[in-house]
Structure 1
Amino acid sequence: MRWFIYIQYFMMLVVFAFIAWRGRELAIFSDPNFVGAFWMTVFVALGVAVINLIVGNYVGYYLANMKGQGLTFLDVCLQLPLIVPLIVIATGLDVWFIRLDLIETVFGVVLIQLLPTLPYSIRIARNAYAALDSDINQYVQLMGGTRKILIVDIYLPLLRRTNETILLFAVVISISQYAITSMIGGGIIQTIALILFPYFSSSQLQLVAAAALCIIGMTYGMLLIFRWAYIGVIKLVRMIDG
């Protein structure tokens, strides 16, 4: 089943590449702002992904081991950004961003993009920690293990797929955000979404296919780099500890 899905995705990419290649002149890549927007998008997406991974794992672990009525209240709070329209929340936060001088800054764009990503990341991490044995911590302590061993040798390998899902989810949403990025960035912080938005409404299939390939390529490139870095960090920590 998994290979069947891989083949479908590969065929889709081949079709997109064929359609894009037929275009004699692709205005996307000739845009003078494209290169700067590309690297700005990578920088913003990495910032959003790192915050989602750190906060999502910490809060998800806490919620998975939490019991009582406070859990229901936190669940409702986490679902509010998913129920209330995003543009409404962003418009309300715009006033606070102006007061904090975060408008037209990269940090402000990263913070506003946490609204549509962080609640999902916390829920994904929470479900992953809840699916693990709740007595893992006690087993490690009984065998003389430390917190570092618990994180590096237990949680990081077991939650590799979960963290890849969080990263992929955060990067895809970050790259595709147009309204809130333009609202907080004020047109000064230009990302790929701002550059490619006019092309997605174009009737030329070559331009649309090239824009789709650009977004897909960025997403999977970051995922491959994350997989390499994730495994490398685990091996490096184990090597340092001997």
Structure 2
Amino acid sequence: MRYFILAQYVTMLFVFGVVAWRGREIGIFEDPNFLMAIETTIVIAFFVVVINLLVANYAGYYLARATGTKLAILDVFLQLPLIVPLIVIAAGLDFWFIRFDLTETILGVVLIQLLPSLPYSIRIARNAYLSLDQDINQYVYLMGGTRKQLLLDIYLPLMRPMNETILLFSVVISVGQYAITSMIGGGIIQTVALLLFPYFASSQLQIVSAAALFTIFMALAMLFLFRWIYKGIVKGIGVIDK
């Protein structure tokens, strides 16, 4: 299955690359606002990923150990953004964003982009923590370990695959958001998705292919950068402990 999915991605990239190369008219890269949109998109995606990682790990760890009515109530709240249409929630929150002067700001766009990403990230983290031995904390404490050692030496390395999944998911969601970003950003906060949307709505397949390639490679570049930083942190902690 893994090789089949990989083959699909390679084929997709090849087709997009051939179509874009034959067109030879990639006008999106000549837009003077494009570089600024790239920087804005990277900043927004960075904060979305960081908040998802921090909140998902904390909430997922708590939910993995919660039981009874408390767990049922939290599950309902987590499912609401997945059931209610996203644009409806964003339209309702727009009033509060205006009251707190969060519209047309990067902070407001970051917060609104947590709606389609954070509930899924929390569920991913919860399932990952549930797969661990529930007595792992007691084992560490019995061996004389501290809470800091439990977090840095046990959970950080073990949760790396889960955190990489959350990272990839958050980056892709953030980079591809158009409707809620334009709603809260008000057209002032320009991201790559906002600039590329008119090209996707056009009939010029060459430009559409070039835009798709750029979006894919941008997401992959951000993913590998964050993965490199995460692995560096894990290795750095291991060296310090020695």
TM-score (norm 1): 0.97
Shift of 1:5: 2.5
Would the aligned equivalents of 2:44 and 2:106 in 1 still touch at CA under 8 Å?
yes
Q: In structure 1, what is the equivalent of residue 8 of structure 2?
A: 8
Deviations 1:57-95 (CA, angstroms, capped at 9, x unpaired): 000000001111110111000111111111111111111
Would the aligned equivalents of 2:48 and 2:170 in 1 still touch at CA under 8 Å?
yes
The separation in 1 between residues aligned to 2:81 and 2:143, in whole angstroms, is 42
Matches within 5 A, 1:73-84: 73-84=73-84
Q: In structure 2, what is the equivalent of residue 163 of structure 1?
A: 163
Shift of 1:203: 1.4
Stretch of structure 1 that moved more, 4-13 or 153-162: 4-13
Which amino acid in structure 2 is aligned with residue 167 of structure 1? L
The separation in 2 between residues aligned to 1:149 and 1:19, in whole angstroms, is 52
Stretch of structure 1 that moved more, 218-227 or 45-54: 218-227
Deviations 1:125-145 (CA, angstroms, capped at 9, x unpaired): 001101111011111111111
Which amino acid in structure 2 is aligned with residue 102 of structure 1? L
The separation in 1 between residues aligned to 2:194 and 2:4, in whole angstroms, is 34
The separation in 1 between residues aligned to 2:229 and 2:41, in whole angstroms, is 20
The alignment covers a number of residue pairs equal to: 242
Q: Please, which runs of 5 or more residues in structure 2 have no aligned partner? A: none
Deviations 1:13-34 (CA, angstroms, capped at 9, x unpaired): 1221111111221111111211
Shift of 1:210: 0.8
The separation in 2 between residues aligned to 1:55 and 1:81, in whole angstroms, is 16
The separation in 1 between residues aligned to 2:6 and 2:157, in whole angstroms, is 24
Which amino acid in structure 1 is aligned with residue 144 of structure 2? G
Deviations 1:153-179 (CA, angstroms, capped at 9, x unpaired): 221222111111111111111111111
The separation in 1 between residues aligned to 2:236 and 2:217, in whole angstroms, is 28
Q: In structure 1, what is the equivalent of residue 138 of structure 2?
A: 138
Matches within 5 A, 1:16-165: 16-165=16-165
The separation in 1 between residues aligned to 2:202 and 2:76, in whole angstroms, is 40
Q: Secondary structure at the match of 2:29?
A: coil
CA-based RMSD of the aligned residues comes to 1.1
Identity, % of aligned positions: 69
